[in-house]
């Protein structure tokens, strides 16, 4: 299988976290990276309108806004605050021209995961009308089971697909038919799952494959959150998973999303060069 | 549901890692903990024969030997060395009167997980005759998916059950019928799995439930390996899982197995008191 085309490459601003949005834009452009996925903290300093102008002028394609979600909670007020925040995220996405918002759906210690998933379905259902009016898709990202305590009750592709299915049932089939609610597949979270190939195929048939994130799993992972590896540095067969995505009909952006305390502490220009090289070699 | 009976309580020597086997034995006895699961490194200083005498004289019940496994590898010599080591583990278990050896089955970076699982089935199959002759059971422990890189390709109860099933098929049904190869269920590794209740029930029907390990998942986990929580300190509903085990017919030992750099750095007598108290309150 060939290398992934540069024309489909995007980088998440969090990957070069020390940089402002301005620095991300200028540096990605210089390296001919055509896509950018914007984290909300990169928008915050100058606000969505000014950010939108910077992004429009840059010629970069805005791939997604990250992140919404965190829908779960033990009381209604907490859950409503999450809905409100996600409505704002949809507005921000629309403002910067992001076609989708990635959802890290949330989990609450002490709340059974099955109950959390019901809250997640309910919350996404409430966002649908606003997402439709803003023409922004909602992309459920299954997270690795090591984040089940407080980040995500959605831990597998199967669970993400079922959430999309529940919403389809509730909303009369319109949502998934129009792919308004779908799935963001991140190799870091799902590589271990024996059902991954078949679930990607199933999601593809249903039109649910919204996004594809790449990085690697370091064999000696030093931190649960911020020790992701550069592609090629770990044990994930990224190219195989990309093949499964493409056979399932996905031809969209390939987004590099790497949280790494080690990499953030170094020179970000050097890091960006390493990312572009690794993308060519290992994606 | 009532507290777990003290009569079923056991502790893994690794839980009080700074202690020698002698210190573990004396301290557990003083606290009226009736069972002990022995890690091989606790045997090593005085050897299995001397350890066996200490354990016999103590009146403590030896619940298991930990651990065998690490069966996978890219070449035959590596895999044969693992078999040889596991044969020795079976001898050690027989020497100290442990009725089972817990298997952490292994994974090898770059080796597809499905291939690793085939190697695991093959390796366990080779151990069966020796396990039969020693009258020691082999207990596959599914590990949390965060250990998929290099510790275990067996990541779910379903995969553990299928491995037992494959061995039953290969060996004409005798193995699982006699429960020679079964499953060690550790709440830390499987609590997140939506299929947990049904898989425990299935394993129970097949006579595969060999062992039950308890600890807790700290919401803010600081280390992938050695930051397990004391029961009650995290987000696992341990009592619910114990209920599922018991409804599935399991009435065996409840083993406290906690790896914790923080706890190992403190006073082990105080730690032991906390363990006994937490067992009564949260198991």
Number of H helices, E strands in chain A: 12, 8
- Are B146 and A224 inside 8 Å of each other by CB? yes
- Are A237 and B112 inside 8 Å of each other by CB? yes
Tell which residue, A63, A94, A93, A81, has the closest CA to residue A123: A81
DSSP output for A127-180: HHHHHHHHT-EEEE----GGGTTTTBS--SHHHHHHHHHHHHHHTTTHHHHTTS
Strand partners, B103: B68, B140
CA pair distance B262, B220, nearest whole angstrom: 14
Contacts of A15-24 spanning 24+ positions with Cβ under 8 A: A15/A256, A15/A257, A15/A258, A15/A259, A15/A275, A16/A268, A16/A271, A16/A272, A17/A259, A17/A264, A18/A264, A18/A268, A19/A268, A20/A45, A21/A45, A21/A46, A21/A51, A21/A54, A21/A55, A22/A54, A23/A268
Of A159, A192, A235, the CB nearest to B155: A192
B199/chain A closest Cα distance in angstroms: 16
Find chain A residues with C-beta within 8 A of B219's C-beta.
109, 149-150
CA pair distance A164, A173, nearest whole angstrom: 10
Where along chain B do its domains lie? 6-282
Contacts with A75 (C-beta within 8 Å, 6 or more apart), sequence order: none
The string of pLDDT tens digits covering residues B223-275 is 999 999 999 999 999 999 999 999 999 999 999 999 999 999 999 999 999 99
- pLDDT (tens place) for every residue of chain A, 283 residues total: 889 999 999 999 999 999 999 999 999 999 999 999 999 999 999 999 999 999 999 999 999 999 999 999 999 999 999 999 999 999 999 999 999 999 999 999 999 999 999 999 999 999 999 999 999 999 999 999 999 999 999 999 999 999 998 887 766 655 544 589 999 999 999 999 999 999 999 999 999 999 999 999 999 999 999 999 999 999 999 999 999 999 999 999 999 999 999 999 999 999 999 999 999 999 9
Q: What are phi and psi of A9, to 5 degrees?
A: -85, 135
B172 pLDDT higher than 80: no
Q: CB count, 10 Å around CB of B113?
A: 23
CA pair distance B233, A279, nearest whole angstrom: 41
CA pair distance A123, B46, nearest whole angstrom: 60
- Are B224 and A219 inside 8 Å of each other by CB? no
CA pair distance B192, B202, nearest whole angstrom: 18
Q: CB count, 10 Å around CB of A129?
A: 10
Arithmetic mean of pLDDT, B59-63:
98
Tell which residue, A261, A187, A262, has the closest CA to residue A217: A187
Alpha-carbon Rg of chain B, whole angstroms? Answer: 18
Provide the whole-model pTM: 0.96
- Are B194 and A148 inside 8 Å of each other by CB? no
The string of pLDDT tens digits covering residues A201-212 is 999 999 999 999
CA terminus-to-terminus distance, chain B? 10
A257, A245 Cβ separation under 8 angstroms: no
Q: What are phi and psi of B190, to 5 degrees?
A: -120, 0
Tell which residue, B97, B94, B103, has the closest CA to residue B138: B103
The string of pLDDT tens digits covering residues B109-158 is 999 999 999 999 999 999 999 999 999 999 999 999 999 999 999 999 99
Altogether, the residues listed in chain B come to a count of: 283
Find chain B residues with C-beta within 8 A of A155's C-beta.
192, 194
Query: For the purposes of burial, counting CB atoms within 10 Å of the CB of B240, is it exposed (0-12), middle (13-18) or buried (19 or more)?
Result: middle
- Are A221 and B217 inside 8 Å of each other by CB? no
Q: Is residue B67 reached through a cis peptide bond, with omega within 30 degrees of 0 on the bond before it?
A: yes
A42, A64 Cβ separation under 8 angstroms: no
Helix (H, G, I), strand (E, B) or coil at A137: strand
How is domain A6-282 classified at the CATH fold level? TIM Barrel (3.20.20)
């Amino acid at each position: 299988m060939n290398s992934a085309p540069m024309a489909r490459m995007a980088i998440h601003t969090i990957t070069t976290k020390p940089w402002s949005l301005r620095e991300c834009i200028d540096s990605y452009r210089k390296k001919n990276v055509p896509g950018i996925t914007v984290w909300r903290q990169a928008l915050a300093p100058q606000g969505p309108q000014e950010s939108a102008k910077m992004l429009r002028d840059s010629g970069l394609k805005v791939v997604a806004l990250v992140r919404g979600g965190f829908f779960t909670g033990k009381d209604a007020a907490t859950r409503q605050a999450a809905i409100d925040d996600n409505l704002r995220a949809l507005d921000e996405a629309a403002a910067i021209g992001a076609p989708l918002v990635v959802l890290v759906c949330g989990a609450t210690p002490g709340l059974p995961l099955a109950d959390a998933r019901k809250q997640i379905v309910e919350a996404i259902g409430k966002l649908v009308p606003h997402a439709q009016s803003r023409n922004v898709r909602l992309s459920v990202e299954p997270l690795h089971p090591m984040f089940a305590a407080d980040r995500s009750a959605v831990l597998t592709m199967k669970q993400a697909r079922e959430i999309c299915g529940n919403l389809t049932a509730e909303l009369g089939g319109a949502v998934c038919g129009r792919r308004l609610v779908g799935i963001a597949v991140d190799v870091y979270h799902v590589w271990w799952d024996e059902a991954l190939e078949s679930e990607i195929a199933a999601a593809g048939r249903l039109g649910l494959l919204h996004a594809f994130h790449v990085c690697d799993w370091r064999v000696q992972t030093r931190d649960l959150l911020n020790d992701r590896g550069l592609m090629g540095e770990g044990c994930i067969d990224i190219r195989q998973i990309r093949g499964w995505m493409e056979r399932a009909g996905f031809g969209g952006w390939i987004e590099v999303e790497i949280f790494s305390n080690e990499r953030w502490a170094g020179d970000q220009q050097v890091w960006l060069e390493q990312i572009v090289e690794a993308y060519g070699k290992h994606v």
